[in-house]
Amino acid sequence: MPKAVDLMMFDFDGTLADTKDDLVTSVNHTLTRLNLQPRTPVDIISFVGDGVRQLIERSLSDNRDAYIDQAMTIFTDYYARHLVDQTRLYPDVEDLLNHFSHKIKIIVTNKRYRFTKTIAAHLGIEKYFQEIVGADTTPYQKPDARVIEYVLNRYKVPRSKAVMIGDGKNDVAVAANAGIVCCVHLNGLGAREELLAMNADYYCENMSEIKSLFC
């Protein structure tokens, strides 16, 4: 029996958009500019999920204290110019958003607002969302429940009628912290086994499956 919801909150990287190639390229451009060794794509993707500063700090590793400010400047400038070079929607995303056209849909991401808005507009999906809540929209980021409380209060939706859809551990954790259900996309950027071990409410292999889970 599908669960009735009024509000659908979507993570962005790894859920709606496959952003990994542009993130990897931008991080390694930054490291190369600093004459540091590039990281493997697997390493870089494992660093995604907690915002851009944490991504860069983790990529710098032992060099973070010496280079973090310079690296942030290089990365931000480069990524702003190359964030849609290779980024694509995951299969069936637009069909899913059309299917739930009558629902309130919000992007809730730890990615910066302007990066998210630019990519969503380029991919043609910004029109489906009432709002984009980025890392810098509120003082809070996932897994802090207050970012979910912000959305619930703003749209006057009871937590029993809300779902968080994402591909990372922060999506599962923020849903649990806020007392709402969570649906995990297993073929995004998050580590599959780690996500399965978190016992989320719903799991899907592809985005089209969500149509049968909620109504």
Query: What does each of the 215 residues of the chain score in pLDDT, given as a tens digit?
Result: 899 999 999 999 999 999 999 999 999 999 999 999 999 999 999 999 899 999 999 999 998 889 999 999 999 999 999 999 999 999 999 999 999 999 999 999 999 999 999 999 999 999 999 999 999 999 999 999 999 999 999 999 999 999 999 999 999 999 999 999 999 999 999 999 999 999 999 999 999 999 999 99
pLDDT of residue 154: 97
Q: What is the CATH number of the domain that holds 28?
A: 1.10.150
Say whether both 138 and 195 belong to one domain: yes
pLDDT of residue 39: 96
Work out how many domains the chain is built from and give that number.
2
Say whether both 126 and 150 belong to one domain: yes
pLDDT of residue 196: 96
* Active site positions, annotated: 11
Say whether both 50 and 155 belong to one domain: no
Q: What count of Cα atoms within 13 Å lies in the side-chain half-sphere of residue 83?
A: 22
Two structure tokens written together for 78 = 């480069």
Domain range enclosing 59: 20-82
Asked if 17 contacts 90 with a C-beta cutoff of 8 angstroms, the reply is yes
pLDDT of residue 64: 86
**Last residue of a domain, which of 82, 102, 127?**
82
